[in-house]
Amino acid sequence: MNEIKSNLFIEDFPPMEKGFYFFAEEATMKQPLISAQKIEEGEIYTIKIVGPGQLEFKETQDSALKVMLNEIMKYSKYEGYDGEIDKLYFHAHNGFEISMVLSGEGYYFAEGRAIKVEAGSVIVFNSLMPHAWLANPDNPPVQKTFTFYHRLFLESELAKEQSMLIKEYLQLLTVLDLHGEQAKESFNILEMMYEEFVNKKPGYHESIKNLLLVFFIYNMRSGMRKHNVIQVRRNGADVQLDNAVQYIKNHFHRNITLEDVAKQVYMHPNYFSASFKKKYGTSFVDYVNALKIAMAIELMESTDMPIQQVASESGFSSLSNFYRVFKGRYDISPAKYIKQN
């Protein structure tokens, strides 16, 4: 098997209802649209939906995405796939993605592993989890795909009773590969969810929220985290930095400091700072700010929160700090961003 070259693109969610960030569609797995662009290995692009069937491609040097691409490029081969493929186009987005396969067959690639999917398969990718796909050209998968922000169902009345339990589960979840009886039961829940979205009968918002919660609680109780969440072994000094990145992803909104993270992974702050920059090509502060901004954008697009609350929920120490970082990244203020989107 030849070595696989990788690229990364961050994709906008399709247009959704204000305050109800959930979308479902049935489609055939195809080659990513960005594959038609002339791009080199290791480049990062954002894809923005600017109109019906119209996409805008833009190269980016976003700090958080550099860390993500660095993780992807550690793999030139994928366990479970022996075929020939020259290039994989990885993508990610600020929200969950669930796919249920109706027919056909293909592969998803994530965290060093190839996951074969066929009729009856269900696969889940957490927010900002890069993944690529490859369809059988003679029998491509037809699948129903659900995209949403996790806070959509965590705010439901049912979720409030089990808030901490489900939040801890979602923090640990990266990729969920369901099969057998668990896939069958999950398939049934997703079918009901799809019908609710398509028919849009009175109360469908709350119904979808509760079905999402039932989906995750069911799989949590079925022991999926122990057996089906992809876990990749790390060796050597990289273990500490990998653990640091995971800790940052789970706690950035709490306004953590470099010293906090260094202490968690038993490294001297100065050594941790230098090692992080060397491995990921970006500073700790830039990476954390990129994650905070991504969360702030999610909140601004999917809720009616006041700007000050958005800043606080995203982990910024003050409103002025939020404005400074946001404007430095997008060259416009958060208020103008909301108006434009």
Buried b (16+ CB within 10 A) or exposed e, 297-308: bbbbbbbeeebe
Interacting residues of 114 by C-beta distance below 8 A, sequence separation 6+: 78, 79, 80, 81, 107, 108
Mean residue pLDDT of the chain comes to 83
Distance CA 159, CA 147 (A): 19
SS3 258: helix
What CA–CA distance (Å, rounded) separates 310 from 253? 11
pTM recorded for the entire structure: 0.75
Question: Which tokens in the block code for residue 53?
Answer: 């069937």
Residue 286 has, within 13 A of its CA and on its CB side, a CA count of: 16
Q: Which range, 22-26, 101-105, 314-318, is most confident?
A: 101-105
Q: Supply the pLDDT for residue 236.
A: 46
Query: What is the full DSSP assignment across 162-200?
Result: THHHHHHHHHH-SEEEE-HHHHHHHHHHHHHHHHHHHH-
Backbone φ and ψ for 161, nearest 5 degrees, come out as: -70, -25
Mean pLDDT within 175-189: 91
Interval 165-171 mean pLDDT: 72
| Residue 227 burial (CB count, 10 A) | 10
What whole-number percentage of the chain has pLDDT above 70?
84
Q: Express each pLDDT in 47-96 by its tens digit.
A: 777 666 677 788 887 777 788 888 888 787 888 898 888 888 898 887 88
Question: Where do the domains of the chain lie, and which CATH numbers do they carry?
Answer: 5-227 (no CATH), 238-340 (1.10.10.60)
206, containing H or E segment: helix 204-221
DSSP string, 269-310: HHHHHHHHHHHHSS-HHHHHHHHHHHHHHHHHHH----HHHH
User: What six digits make up the tokens of 227?
Assistant: 């057996």
C-alpha closest to that of 307 among 295, 316, 319, 315: 319
* Single-letter code of the amino acid located at 23: F
Q: Residue 60: which residues within 8 A CB-CB, separation 6 or more?
A: 10, 44, 45, 46
Give the model confidence (pLDDT) of 5-49 as tens digits: 777 776 666 666 766 788 999 999 988 777 767 777 777 888 777
pLDDT in tens, 118-154: 999 999 998 888 999 999 999 999 999 999 887 776 6
SS (H, E, C) 34-61: HHHCCCCCCCEEEEEEEECCEEEEEECC
- What's residue 328's pLDDT? 86
Answer for the pair 213, 234: CB distance below 8 angstroms, yes or no: no
State how far the Cα of 154 lies from the Cα of 170, in Å rounded to an integer: 11
Instruction: Please report which confidence band the pLDDT of residue 184 belongs to, taking 50, 70 and 90 as the band edges.
Output: very high
The answer to whether 59 and 47 are in contact (CB under 8 A) is no
More confident residue, 110 or 77: 110
DSSP, collapsed to helix, strand or coil, labels residue 9 as strand
Tens of pLDDT, residues 223-248: 644 444 444 444 445 678 888 888 88
Of 217, 174, 215, 170, nearest to 194 by C-alpha is 215
Contacts 24+ apart (CB under 8 A), 254-260: 254/315, 255/315, 255/316, 255/317, 256/288, 256/315, 258/284, 258/285
What would the mean pLDDT of 269-274 be, rounded to a whole number? 89
Q: CA-to-CA distance for 249 and 300, rounded, in angstroms? A: 19
